[in-house]
Structure 1
Amino acid sequence: MKPEWRKYLAARAPRYTSYPSALHFDSSVSREDYADRLSAVELYEPLSLYVHVPFCKKLCWYCGCNMRVENDYSRALRYVSALAKEISLVGGRLAGAGRPRSVHFGGGTPNYLLVDEIADILQAIELEFGLTDDARLAIELDPRLIRDDDINRLADLGFERMSLGVQDFDHEVQLAINRVQSFDMIESAVGEMRRAGVNDISFDLLYGLPKQTLGAFKESLEKTLALAPDRVAVFGYAHLPSALPRQRLIDSESLPGADLRVDLAELADEMLIAAGYRRIGFDHYAKPDNPLAVADREGRLRRNFQGFTDDLAVTTLGFGASAISSVNGLHVQNEKSLTGYYDDIAAGRLPVARGIELTATEIAIAGVIQDLLCKGSANIAPVLAAVAPGEAVEICARLDMLEADGLISWGGNIVLIEAEARPLSRCVAMALDPYEFPHKSKPSVSLARAI
């Protein structure tokens, strides 16, 4: 990576799984707004479904998810029952409209639930929405909780993609984040998946964790390559102990410095590319024949609340506490607390807590950011036309800075992210984001606040 790019790799930029992000949701959006949008969904409109399972057996200190450690399984059964009721509430509003193209189970830990409960949730979805054979089912798994025959049974239910939270294979790093899982455990899980016919296995890795070194992380990457997952997601750990109390259990003195974080990210990129993986967006890698890589080559890659995807559905319906939905320019998030979620479901109410209705300007920005992140290029004319003249000048000034550093080239209204700069595409997207750069009276701007 060019030396002048390292500052961008260290930037704290939004992940843009939505625009605007959930940080900008508020209580001005109501459950009635969501109900109205659901009622307007077209008969054969593709749907992407997300099911959030907030329970975990152990507390991973690095985790930023909405989760809770739960040792009483009866409480999970109550949650599954509430999920079925929420699915019914949403199905009632759709009145037969919409066709699921994918179902993704995330968390928390989806396989905290027994396979029987996962099957019950799928049955509730089948009853309300219908599930055709071409709907793709995906699930995130904690390898420490995989029980005998779980993989075979999940495969029999139709799960074609399984994702393992590996994070790092180094034992010292695992101790420092309270997530100890051996290489043999991961290897056994991968073997079971392959024998069950699962041909889309994904690993999640994290850089920036405590105790990480270049040498040890190189070994973790080598072990990853030895197991040959079909996809690898490489995320940067965000240490936010003031917002996430569990992260206070991590020794901040053991965290890699800014330079080492950049070196770790570069190492992962270099090793995965050298091993034949295709770089997808800014943090995913996939084997050339994987559906994600095919979608990228064919210009069909999209980004939604689950990350980069080959799912073309624009409408996302989220179920469970904290789940986010997006329907026709409206983003909504469910109640985060189980108490609030259960109260709404018991009263027959959609459990919406907050959200945002996109303005015409935000819709234009969202579309251009989607193109930048997924295609590496975009026509920014819709954004420049939608914002105030002074904001347009500021956006152009920021893009000029990025071009001067070689991240992008742009002529006319077409912005092209250089191929080797794709891991930095969030910084390019951020240049178009008024939330990150509130309008100033003068066109003199700087990206320094993001670096």
Structure 2
Amino acid sequence: MHDDLIERYAAPVPRYTSYPTAPHFHAGVTSQTYARWLGEVTQSVAISLYIHVPYCDRLCWFCGCHTKHTLRYEPITSYLDALYAEIDWVSERLAGNGMVSAIHLGGGSPTMLTPDDMARLKAHLAARFQIASDVEISIEIDPNDLGEDRFDAMASFGLTRASVGVQDFDPRVQRAINRIQSFEQTKHVIDQVRARGVHSVNVDVLYGLPYQTLESIEATIGQVLSLTPDRTALFGYAHVPWLKKHQQMIPDAALPNIPARFAQSMLAAQLLNGGGLQSIGFDHFARSTDSLAIAAAKGRLRRNFQGYTDDGADLLIGLGASAIGQLPQGYVQNITVTGDYQKAAFSGTGTTSRGFALTTADRLHGYAIEALLCRFSLRRDELQQFGAAGRSLFERARAITAQDDDGMTTADAECFAITDRGRPFVRAIAAKFDTYLGEGPARHSLAV
């Protein structure tokens, strides 16, 4: 594929973990709005909980998450007290309705929690929510945080899925991103969680990092495959130093150019497929026995703020500073600044800072974007639920193919689809259905 074509389709666009995307959230959605939405939840609704722990004991320079560095535990202790207060506020408004089918601990580094605090968090959740007996519990793991007591604590918490960050095993790349982590450390973590009954292990890998080459990508993927992960997420490094100041520690000159990033992603995908993992969407891979691959095969794959998921919950409740919730009525996001979040949580008035109430048009365009990202196709009959607006959008999709001289899409009277040639650029193609793109000052990462 020619470099000029790659560069044209690599123009910055959102990752579409929501629609509209977070830069379009606004202060018109308040804690009062959120309280009303929670009050409309019925008893039978499935709930997924995301709990954000915004602390790390080191700051990785590539990171784009809302987190902060601390070497003391006291800030985490006071943060957890605020988190419990928010949990109480949310549960009071749910009034016992809903059933929690999934819990995800993210960050930051949730594995910084002491075993006692992890047990206390689980007990608080169990006291405030109805939790299904077969609840899926996933935790993002930093191998550098863990002693044996924390493995036992995660097992006691009910861990069923572990997500282990690798990024890259090359020492030069690790030094450049301030993420020193050996293969042996990583293997020990995976062995330990599996010994405690975890049925699914995900490994995160990045391409587009400073000093990465095709050779280093091949070596890293080989080591990852030797760990026999059930899932692998392959993300392109998002260099956004205007948003994340610590990324200024990464020299621009050390980053691969767009054609090199594309070549790295293609090689990594080829190696992962060759290692027995199926492609799921545009950046996930899974073994055929994993629930993510099963969901994709059955057309139940979804996309939310955690990326691709088989989580079928009706709503996602985000807990903690900066956490985002997704409800049928729209999106809510908590206050990002940790100190301000804690004050709001202790005040008992709610911690929402902004959000977005969905219109029928938003739901239509969001449906189309998610369908393309999850299935690479959009059918006329599935848009019938949106009436005339759905039919109009499908004709717009057909017009995209009519003007497509690059062979990225195909269309007939019943189905608009992205070709194999176009799949690496699915974000750029999906962006054609984003009516908000270009509005406001939002800047995005590269589409490859």
Q: Distance in 2 between matches of 1:281 and 1:398?
A: 21
Match of 1:424 in 2: 425
- Specify the alignment match of 1:379 in structure 2: 379
Q: Does the 8 Å contact 1:417/1:425 carry over to 2?
A: yes
- Offset of 1:419 from its aligned partner? 4.7
Mean CA deviation greater in 293-302 or 413-422 = 413-422
Q: Which amino acid aligns with 1:88?
A: D
Amino acid at match of 1:166: V
**What is the aligned length?**
439
Shift of the alpha carbon at 1:367?
1.4
- Distance in 2 (CA, whole Å) between partners of 1:8 and 1:412 is 28
2:447 and 2:74 mapped to 1: Cα distance?
45
Which residue matches 1:183?
183
Determine if contact 2:60/2:179 at 8 Å carries over to the other structure: yes
1:217 CA displacement: 1.2
> Identity of counterpart residues, as a percentage?
38
- Distance in 2, matches of 1:414 and 1:395, equals 9
TM-score by length of 2: 0.93
Indicate conservation of the 8 Å contact 1:13/1:430, yes or no: yes
- Partner in structure 1 of residue 50 of structure 2: 50
Cα deviation per residue 1:380-428 (whole Å; 9 max; x = unaligned)?
Answer: 6567943998x988765444344x3222211125212235643332222
Deviations 1:274-329 (A, max 9, x none): 11111111100001100111111111111111111111113110000000011122
Q: 2-side partners of 1:432 and 1:107: how far apart?
A: 31
1:242-321 equivalences in 2 (<5 Å) = 242-321=242-321
Match of 1:444 in 2: none
| Contact 2:7-2:259 within 8 A present in 1 as well | no
Instruction: Answer yes or no: is 1:433 the counterpart of 2:439.
Output: no
| Alignment match, 2:39 | 39
The AA in structure 2 aligned to 1:43 is: Q
AA aligned opposite 2:402? D
Q: Is the 8 A contact 2:47 2:314 kept in 1?
A: yes
Q: Is the 8 A contact 1:100 1:130 kept in 2?
A: yes
Match of 1:400 in 2: 402
Q: Structure 1 stretches of 5 or more lacking a match?
A: 439-448
Alpha-carbon distance between aligned partners in 2 of 1:104 and 1:310, rounded to the nearest angstrom: 13
CA contact (8 A) 2:398 2:411 kept: no
Structure 1 residues 28 and 399 mapped into 2: Cα distance closer, same or farther (>3 Å)?
farther
Q: Decide whether aligned partners of structure 1 residues 65 and 32 sit closer, same or farther in structure 2, where only a CA change above 3 A counts.
A: same
Partner Cα distance (2:344, 2:351) in 1: 5
Give the whole-Å Cα distance in 2 for the aligned partners of 1:394 and 1:99. Answer: 39
In the alignment, the residues of structure 2 paired with residue 271 and residue 9 of structure 1 have an alpha-carbon distance, to the nearest angstrom, of 23
* 1:357 corresponding residue in structure 2: 357
Matches within 5 A, 1:49-448: 49-379=49-379, 381=383, 385-386=388-389, 396-402=398-404, 404-412=405-413, 414-419=415-420, 421-436=422-437
Deviations 1:69-109 (A, max 9, x none): 01221111111111111111000000011111100000111
| Aligned partners of 1:166 and 1:203 also within 8 Å | yes
| Per-residue Cα deviation, 1:153-199 (whole angstroms, up to 9, x for no partner) | 31232101011110000000000000101111111111112222212
Residues 425 and 447, structure 2, Cα contact 8 Å, conserved in 1: no
Answer whether contact 1:368 1:379 (CA < 8 A) is retained. Answer: no
- Local SS of the residue matching 2:311: coil
1-structure distance, mates of 2:256, 2:2: 21
Counterpart AA for 1:192: Q
Whole-Å Cα distance in 2 between the matches of residues 280 and 422 of structure 1?
11
**Displacement of 1:150 after TM fit?**
1.9
Gaps of 5+ in 2: 440-445
| Cα distance change on mapping 1:8 and 1:296 into 2, 3 Å | farther
Residues 421/79 of structure 1: CA separation in 2 closer, same or farther (3 Å cut): same
Structure 2 distance, partners of 1:100, 1:201, is 21
Displacement of 1:2: 8.2
Structure 1 pair 8/17, CA: closer, same or farther in 2 (3 Å)? farther
C-alpha distance in 2, partners of 1:337/1:31?
A: 16
SS at 2:106's partner residue?
Answer: strand
Q: Give distance in 1, aligned partners of 2:261 and 2:239.
A: 12
What are the superposed Cα offsets for residues 10-31 of structure 1, whole Å, 9 maximum, x if unpaired?
Answer: 3322111110110111111111
Q: Evaluate the alpha carbon distance shift between residue 17 and residue 42 of structure 1 in structure 2; reply closer, same or farther with a 3 A threshold.
A: same
Mean CA deviation greater in 153-162 or 226-235:
153-162
The separation in 2 between residues aligned to 1:450 and 1:232, in whole angstroms, is 19
* In structure 2, distance between residues paired with 1:414 and 1:270: 28
Q: Structure 1 length as normaliser, TM-score?
A: 0.92
Worse-superposed segment, 108-117 or 95-104: 108-117
Match of 1:6 in 2: 6
Residues 401 and 58 from structure 1, CA distance in 2 versus in 1: closer, same or farther, beyond 3 angstroms?
A: farther
Contact 2:408–2:422 (CA<8 Å) still a contact in 1? yes
CA contact (8 A) 2:10 2:428 kept: no
Residues 138 and 160, structure 1, Cα contact 8 Å, conserved in 2? yes
Moved more, 393-402 or 207-216: 393-402
Q: Could you tell me whether the CA contact under 8 Å between 1:8 and 1:424 is conserved in 2?
A: no
Measured at CA, do residues 290 and 13 of structure 1 come closer, stay the same or move farther in structure 2, by a change above 3 Å? same
Q: 1:97 to 1:2 in 2, by over 3 A?
A: farther
Secondary structure of 2:344 counterpart:
helix
